Amino acid sequence: MSDEKKKALEAQIRAFVGKPVGPVVVGRDPVNEPMIRQWCDAMGETHPAYLDADAAKKTVHGEIVAPPTMLQAWVMEGWAMHEGYDEPKNEQHRLHKVLADNGYTGVLGTNTEENYTRYLRLGETVKALTVIDSISEEKATGVGIGYFITTKTTFENQDGEDLGSMSFRVLRFKPANAQAAASKEGESKATAQKPSRIKPPMGHDNGWWWEKVASDGVIPIQRCTSCQKLRHPPRPMCDACGSQGFDAIAASGRATVHTFTVIHYPQFPGYEYPIVSIIVDLEEGERMASTLVDCKPEDVSIGMAVEAVIHEDEDGFKIPFFRPAAR
Amino acid sequence: MQKTKKIDELEVGQELPPLDLPITATLVAGGALASRDYTPVHHDRDAANAQGLPDMFMNILTTQGLCSRYVTDWAGPDAIVTRVRTKLGGPNMPGDLLKIRGKVVSTEGKDADVEVSGNNAWGNHVTATFTLRLP
Amino acid sequence: MPTTLHNEAAVAGIGQTAYTKNSGVSELQLATEAVRKAIDDAGIQPSEVDGLVTYTMDSSDEVEVARTVGIGDMTFWSQVNYGGGAAVGLVAHAAMAVATGAAKNVVVYRALNGRSGQRMGQGVSGQIISSDLIHWSWYMPFGLLTPASWIALQARLYMHKYGATSEHLAHVAITQRMHAQKNPNAAMYGKPMTMDDYMKSRMICEPLRLFDCCQEDDGGCALLITTPERARDMKQTPAVIRGVTQASFEGQEQMTSFYRDDLAWLPEMELAAKRVYEMSGLGPKDMDAACLYDAFTPEVLMQLEAFGFCGRGEAKDFVTSESLTLGGALPNNTHGGLLSEAYLHGVNNLAEGVRLVRGESCNQPDKVDHVLVTSGVGVPTGAVIFGKD
């Protein structure tokens, strides 16, 4: 996009800042027990103040109140939402359409912040006013370049009493890859698969190692059949004597942590974070990279004794991890 | 009735008991409809497929409702939620196991911030910081 | 035929694009803009260039660059492997070419859409089973997927062994951020940082916080290298190469040399130091400034030791005494470095080394006769000493 075109677009979208999305939305039903009960059923809520008038009296609330996170539910449109919309119905839709028409076809909710002034009581009617609060500079993100749009909603009851507020931030972006763009437009059917850890490619020099992990449930250590030198990670020639012959021994699994890191970001699909990553000294003298499990990140230390455990993923992939050694 | 925790019983870093929640189509659809959210991607697999996702996915209000329940189940009935800040991640769909974990990240006066994370096989689904006012 | 690269080549031109988060143009455009600017800076014509060197990771092929810029006949080209470890290698290859007559005027370049395009640290996988892919396979399944995670393992051990703390790492980051405040082309220009800001930045891979990690940027940077004789006839004060070497040490891997005895030490950098000091006849005390490769802050501490600016384990005291600032013993990354100017894979650090020798840095120390510039840490790497003619 040329600078001029971008300037024009930004002028157009910035004109939306400060505008109410539309008129004040008035809840279709006052705060009521059936809707609260339905919510609690779905959420598995057993909170006495939401469900039982007598028990509620013994709480700080003194009467039945609605779950706080239900606040927005009282002003949701309900059934009409299933129809979607071809023509924009309010200012928020219009803003999004301007961006979509300029190639920012992706949309992603990123953050919310709700402030609850107090819990809602039975019989109250909730009214909500939503304003387009801010639009960021154009940002480069993991999914593509785009604008963060923040809307702010204020909630009142029928008497104008403040009930709370909500900020909602969405990213409107140009999808970085064409497949994502196509799927946003509904052109491609579901292609996403449940992610799993990155698998090692199985080549001549490493495939046997992973197969042995899976079949024997041990950590193999490559051994030169000529001079008996151990080596890890495996390679096709002994760096001491030049022999290409090798077999493997099974490591005892006893090891100590040589160094470690706790990985927080970036987070890749198929892994659980934080990851306690370790380099261990195997009892046999070789070193290897692995993951420490069954250990809180704050409990790992250099020099700690660990033992191998073969982990199996949901998809059947087996990988050697370590856990703190049993005493 | 369960006793509500006092602020001085809390320590920064203290962890809440973990909750592993199997996600079903009923929960996703039930949560969406209980929050009066009839957007088709939350109850209709075909609509979700059209957006490139393999199945219908949980709406934000249901995620927040589940996290809220998780926090107050631990804190007790007199703990009042005054604020929730939510960072949204990947989708949560039928067949996923949502692993909910929480820990106390700060305390000030009678207020405590509890950070809740919900992870599934896709990675992080939600990170939410609940501010609780304790008696 | 020369048997050393001492005083056999010089940098006669430097060129760079704007460094941004979203260039909106191709990597070839960035590369050719930087190359053209380096040629213009030297004051010669594109047709006088007869050699090109870049990274194996670069997407802009030599002949594409040559055709676009109007470079005619070429008699030398090459590519250097190992990410940021290649930076000094480019200079070494070009110096060898001009010293031996393989080419007269060689431009070295690196351009990338490192933020808006393919970002670093997004994991490595692929379909063709190469030795490189098998190497990564010993780490990827375990979630060790990013440069930050690999460096963190080494940094943790270094800090454990020598008692270095986050505060020590912070000094490196804060000093370079301070330098960037005078560099309008730096990504962190206008964004000073306090110790508190640093400490509040989120953990990426313990002990590395966000501000221990370099930028991700779009941009291009290039240097024109020729013989000192020819350089003297060109437009700029030459930055003469007093010593240059590539260096890979026994047991070297790409980012994962975890199998050596001492992980709290950089033997390839020690090798590079020995070589460039011998070749140049200079020592650490002769260095008036440095651009030590700074993809991550702990790398700077470890290099200070490897290049003999302080003893082993003493870098933590060296960095706290403001030694890396403009008035200090070794002003380092006076442009902001990879941490605060831009991540141009180290070529921007080479350009700053040249500016320091010319007396043109945005943070110019009073006297600069010699500048040490290094390339990537944890990979096969190298070092160069630029000297005032």
Distance CA A56, CA A49 (A): 4
Report the residue from C116, C125, C143 with minimal CB separation from A277.
C143
pLDDT of residue C112 exceeding 90, the answer is yes
| Chains C and B physically touch (3 or more Cβ atom pairs below 8 Å) | no
Q: How many domains does chain C have?
A: 1
Asked if the structure places residue C36 within a domain, the reply is yes
Residue A104 identity: Y
pLDDT score at C251: 93
Interface test with A, best of C25, C145, C215 (most A CBs within 10 A): C145
ipTM of the complex: 0.96
Q: Any residues with CB less than 8 A from the CB of C282 and at least 6 apart, and which?
A: C242, C243, C370, C385
CB-based contact C186:C180 (threshold 8 Å): yes
Report the residue from B66, B80, B99 with minimal CB separation from A43.
B66
Cα A154 from chain centroid?
28
pLDDT of residue B14 exceeding 90, the answer is yes
The parent domain of residue C43 ranges over 10-117+214-388
Asked if the structure places residue C111 within a domain, the reply is yes
Q: Is A79 on the interface with B (CB under 8 A)?
A: yes
* A115 chain-B contacts, CB cut-off 8 A: 82-83
User: Which of these CATH numbers, 3.20.20.80, 3.40.50.12780, 3.40.30.10, 3.10.129.10, describes B7-133?
Assistant: 3.10.129.10
> Would you call A189 exposed, middle or buried from its count of C-beta atoms within 10 A (0-12, 13-18, 19+)?
exposed
Q: Please state the domain extents for chain A.
A: 3-31+66-184, 207-324
Asked if the structure places residue C206 within a domain, the reply is no
Q: Do A259 and C160 touch (CB under 8 A)?
A: yes
* Sign of the four-CA dihedral A193, B30, B77, B85: positive
User: Tens of pLDDT along A127-153?
Assistant: 999 999 999 888 877 777 889 999 999
Q: Do A49 and B38 touch (CB under 8 A)?
A: no
Asked if the structure places residue C143 within a domain, the reply is no
**Residue of chain B nearest A39, judged by CA positions:** B34
- The angle subtended at Cα A39 by Cα A34 and Cα A43, nearest 5°, is 150
Interface test with B, best of A43, A45, A115, A169 (most B CBs within 10 A): A43
The CATH number for C371's domain is: 3.40.47.10
Q: Which CATH superfamily is domain A3-31+66-184 in?
A: Hotdog Thioesterase (3.10.129.10)
Pairing of strands C106-113, C51-55: parallel
Q: Is A277 on the interface with C (CB under 8 A)?
A: yes
Residue C78 identity: S
Q: Do A289 and C144 touch (CB under 8 A)?
A: yes
pLDDT score at A181: 43
Q: Do A113 and B83 touch (CB under 8 A)?
A: yes
* pTM, 2 dp: 0.73
Structure tokens at A322: 């370590």
Torsion angle in degrees (nearest 10) through CA of C330, C334, C336, C338: -70
pLDDT of residue B30 exceeding 60, the answer is yes
Residue by residue, DSSP assigns C236-249 as: SPPEEEEEEEEE--
pLDDT of residue A180 exceeding 60, the answer is no
C332: number of Cβ within 10 Å: 28
Asked if the structure places residue C364 within a domain, the reply is yes
Q: Do C142 and A263 touch (CB under 8 A)?
A: no
User: Tens of pLDDT along C80-95?
Assistant: 999 999 999 999 999 9
pLDDT score at C120: 66
In terms of residues, how long is chain C? 389
Asked if the structure places residue C258 within a domain, the reply is yes
C343 is catalytic: yes
Structure tokens at C244: 């240059």
CB-based contact B133:B82 (threshold 8 Å): yes
* A68 chain-B contacts, CB cut-off 8 A: 68, 80-81, 84
Report the residue from B38, B48, B69 with minimal CB separation from A81.
B38
User: Tens of pLDDT along C52-73?
Assistant: 999 999 999 999 999 999 999 9
- The arithmetic mean of pLDDT across residues A225-254, rounded, is 95
pLDDT of residue C234 exceeding 90, the answer is yes
pLDDT > 90 in chain C, percent: 90
| Chains C and A physically touch (3 or more Cβ atom pairs below 8 Å) | yes
Task: List the single range of B119-123, C159-163, C308-312, C327-331 with lowest mean pLDDT.
Answer: B119-123
- The arithmetic mean of pLDDT across residues A238-244, rounded, is 92
- The arithmetic mean of pLDDT across residues A255-273, rounded, is 93
Phi (first) and psi of residue C203, to 5 degrees: -70, 135
pLDDT score at A178: 44
pLDDT score at C121: 63
**Residue of chain B nearest A47, judged by CA positions:** B77
